[in-house]
Amino acid sequence: MLGDRTGSPGGASDVPLAPLPYQVRSVVRETPDTATVAVVPRGSRRIGPTRPGQFVMLYAFGIGESPIGVSDETDGVLYHTVRDAGRITHALTRLTPGDLLGVRGPYGHGWPMEAARGKDVVIVAGGLGLPPLRPALREILRDRDAYGRLEIVYGARTPKDLVYYAELQEWRRRADLRLQVTVDAAGRDWYGDVGVVTTRLPDARFDPERTVAFVCGPEIMMKFTAQALVGRGVPAESVWVSMERNMKCAIGLCGHCQFGPSFVCRDGPVLSYGELAPRLGVREL
Amino acid sequence: MANGAAVGDRSTLSRPNLPALFAAIRAAGYAIVAPTVRDGAIVYGPVERVEDLPIGWTDRQDGGTYRLVRRDDAAVFGYNLGPTSWKRFLFPPHERLWTAERKEGSFTVTPEPTDTTRWAFFGMRACELAALDVTDTVFLKGAVADPTYRARRSRILRVAVQCGQAARTCFCTSMGTGPAVTGGADLILTEILLPGPHRFLVEVGSPAGAEVVDRFAESLSPAGPDDDRLARETVERTAGSMVRRMDPTGLRDLMAENLDHPRWEIVANRCLSCTNCTLVCPTCFCSTQEEVPDLDVRSVERWRRWDSCFNLGFTELHGASVRKSGLSRYRQWLTHKLGTWHDQFGTSGCVGCGRCISWCPVGIDLTEEVAAIRAAPRSSGVEARGR
Ligand SMILES: Cc1cc2nc3c(=O)[nH]c(=O)nc-3n(C[C@H](O)[C@H](O)[C@H](O)COP(=O)(O)OP(=O)(O)OC[C@H]3O[C@@H](n4cnc5c(N)ncnc54)[C@H](O)[C@@H]3O)c2cc1C
Ligand code: SF4
Ligand code: SF4
Ligand code: FES
């Protein structure tokens, strides 16, 4: 069942911790502090193919590296949606076409696509949790008949914080999926739903016993979402969350990303709620 | 020994002939790193001569205490462990991983040249061989092997010593790691002070050890049955004298089930988060990376430096730390060492060397902490889960 979750931990580099040179192809400003950066190899060497939910280490030359999810890979172009959250991500969101950066990876175990086949799929994203879910969503849409119902719930702080606006509109129009978008707070110019993502879950339609859920967002949001899904009868082992921890190496050697027995970089970032539930209840683990 | 030494061979080396062993190790192509006295402690460092060893010294250790004192004999190995461990020669505290240089609109990464030093670790204790096994598992048996550790590790010679005494902080018998050396060494020495002349029993542990022995066979004499017996008795005496104990049964579950035990609060009130325990521990492996650009950011160096789970910034996420409290950081350290290490690496992260007890400035003793938790375990703790 987990066969398709294996990564290629060494990446393409001979030195496990050395980035390969890439360059920026295009940049799309998603929100005031978030940009989607498309990158291609600068030279003949590239990282291996990525799977939905995996991440890479993006390297701002002379500044440092950050773990960043893959939000799409199409025709050899890697897309990363980055929020300016500090020194490194500030530099990454400031990149312009032609700029140089480094990439190593891909790392970790992503979404269990194989386990989702033939099942209803519920995708719940909070804030910048949507980008790492997008490749899973796209894979499902490419082979739509292989899956059951597709329910997407996406929550952001305000309407301004919604990413992939055009794509959301497109998904909204599709008949073969249902997308609910909600924001925590909005002005009068927002006619959509207001409230945290969990308030939209009762409306989602799925057959709990044959459902697989992919959840990504702030830890507290993932915990409450997972609890709500389990409350509706989805087995805890079928609810998958993508964990975030400080990471320095991404290959299981630096110790930073530990969450109880798991190295989030190597055993995750996507882990089953069935395994994590007891740990998510422990403060400061 | 016309046909050369074989694994398992035992011979006797007189104390005056000890320099011949040093010479043979050098002739086999190794540089020697060994215990030596520096700044009031016995540390591991490169040594030139037998006289550089802590001859006639011993250490007095206990919770928060380490003191060197003179022995009333000239024992060569009459002490136990100091603040250094062999780990630093395989996984240095600070090492450059690579250098990158901007070139024609791109950059090239040049890995640090492989360290080809062939170190002989002279005087490894049983618990330290066990620690080497642990770091081998961490650095070499995961999905990605650490290339610098692998390069250095592939070149070492392990010259072990069976302990003739235990420090008050030692608890290897509890952890099943010592004091007898039962494998994993190239040569195994046992110091025999009395009766008879000062000498060493030398046992060949591997073909690499046999090669060294062949180079100074003329300085060795066949081991008599007495020497075998005396060596065995030495180790038994050491084991019998061990004062600290830690019951290792079910430690993994004990840790997992007691994450909310009140004891963590008590120990956290004493803990200074100084990181000493992680620095002296022979198995702690956490590191961070540092980017060092030159002035015009044309070239940069990437360094790796030892880090510690006691540092507040270790778990930084979105401008705040996951483990803010001292409680959570001490708990992480101990539950990792004794608990989740089993899940991750199939072995305990603690080998019972006792260093963290001696070098804790306030004398926190993990064996006491475990005993306290075991004495009154939580029933409501987080359920232990298999993988
Ligand atoms: C698996 C994974 C996938 C991620 N995917 C994305 C993504 O697709 N888009 C995105 O914008 N962000 C993503 N993040 C978060 C991103 O890595 C952090 O925002 C970033 O590392 C912050 O670094 P900084 O220097 O900009 O911020 P600073 O706050 O200046 O960083 C300070 C220190 O904390 C560390 N740090 C801070 N926050 C994090 C964090 N969340 N994770 C790891 N280290 C952190 C940094 O490495 C640095 O050492 C992801 C994180 C993980 C673990
Ligand atoms: S813990 Fe055991 S093997 Fe290690 S120094 Fe002490 S007595 Fe020797
Ligand atoms: S935890 Fe303490 S006693 Fe155990 S191996 Fe580390 S330093 Fe030695
Ligand atoms: S990021 Fe280094 S061990 Fe996971």
- Asked whether B117 and B151 are in contact (CB, 8 A), the reply is no
**pLDDT at residue number B160:** 98
pLDDT at position B277 over 90: yes
Q: Using 50, 70 and 90 to split pLDDT, how confident is the model at B379? A: low
Q: Given an 8 Å threshold on Cβ–Cβ distance, is A245 in contact with B315?
A: yes
A262 beta partners: A259
Q: Using 50, 70 and 90 to split pLDDT, how confident is the model at A9? A: very low
C-alpha–C-alpha distance, residues A19 and A17, integer Å: 7
**Which of B98, B112, B144, B383 is most worth mutating to test chain A (most A CB atoms within 10 A of its CB)?**
B144
Q: Using 50, 70 and 90 to split pLDDT, how confident is the model at B84? A: very high
User: What is the CATH number that goes with domain A113-242?
Assistant: 3.40.50.80
Q: Given an 8 Å threshold on Cβ–Cβ distance, is B106 in contact with A21?
A: yes
Residues near A91 by beta carbon (within 8 Å), at least 6 away in sequence: A60, A63
**pLDDT at residue number A14:** 63
Q: Given an 8 Å threshold on Cβ–Cβ distance, is A253 in contact with B111?
A: no
Q: Using 50, 70 and 90 to split pLDDT, how confident is the model at A6? A: very low
Between vectors from CA B83 to CA B77 and to CA B84, what angle results, nearest 5°? 80
Type of residue found at B114:
T
**Which of A254, A262, A275 is most worth mutating to test chain B (most B CB atoms within 10 A of its CB)?**
A254
Residues near A146 by beta carbon (within 8 Å), at least 6 away in sequence: A117, A118, A140
- % of chain A surpassing 70 pLDDT: 95
DSSP for A29-98, please give it: EEETTEEEEEEEESSS--PPPP-TT-EEEEEETTTEEEEEE--EEETTEEEEEEE--SHHHHHHHT--TT
The whole model's pTM is what?
Answer: 0.93
> Pick from A275, A283, A273, A270: which is nearest to A243 by CA?
A270
Instruction: Say if B340 is an interface residue toward chain A (CB within 8 Å).
Output: yes
- % of chain A surpassing 90 pLDDT: 89
The H or E element that residue B320 is part of is: strand B320-321
**pLDDT at residue number A3:** 37
Q: Using 50, 70 and 90 to split pLDDT, how confident is the model at A191? A: confident
- Asked whether B355 and B83 are in contact (CB, 8 A), the reply is yes
Sheet bearing B31-38, strands edge to edge: B41-46, B31-38, B119-124, B157-162, B187-192, B199-204, B10-14, B220-222
Q: Using 50, 70 and 90 to split pLDDT, how confident is the model at B276? A: very high
- The SS3 of residue B111 is strand
Q: Given an 8 Å threshold on Cβ–Cβ distance, is A258 in contact with B340?
A: yes
pLDDT at position B385 over 50: no
Structure tokens at A210: 């044959």
Between vectors from CA B223 to CA B218 and to CA B229, what angle results, nearest 5°? 155
Instruction: Say if B259 is an interface residue toward chain A (CB within 8 Å).
Output: yes
Q: Where do the structural domains in chain A lie, given as residue ranges?
A: 3-107, 113-242
C-alpha–C-alpha distance, residues A115 and A211, integer Å: 10
Q: Given an 8 Å threshold on Cβ–Cβ distance, is B143 in contact with A252?
A: yes
- The SS3 of residue A168 is helix
pLDDT at position B3 over 90: no
Report ipTM (2 d.p.).
0.93
Ligand 2 atom 6 nearest Cα:
B170
Point out the ligand 1 atom lying closest to the alpha carbon of residue A89. Answer: 26
Type of residue found at B158:
R
> Which residues of chain B lie closer than 8 angstroms to A10, CB-CB?
143-144
pLDDT at position A24 over 80: yes
CATH 2.40.30.10 fits A3-107, yes or no: yes
Ligand 1 centroid to Cα of residue A136, in Å, is 21
**pLDDT at residue number B319:** 87
Span between the terminal Cα atoms of chain A, in Å: 28
pLDDT at position B387 over 70: no
Size (chain A), residues: 285
The H or E element that residue A128 is part of is: none
Pocket of ligand 1 (CB under 6 A): A 55, 66-69, 80-83, 85-89, 128, 131-132, 244-247, 269; B 316-319
Average pLDDT for A132-153: 97
**pLDDT at residue number A8:** 40
> Which residues of chain A lie closer than 8 angstroms to B136, CB-CB?
none
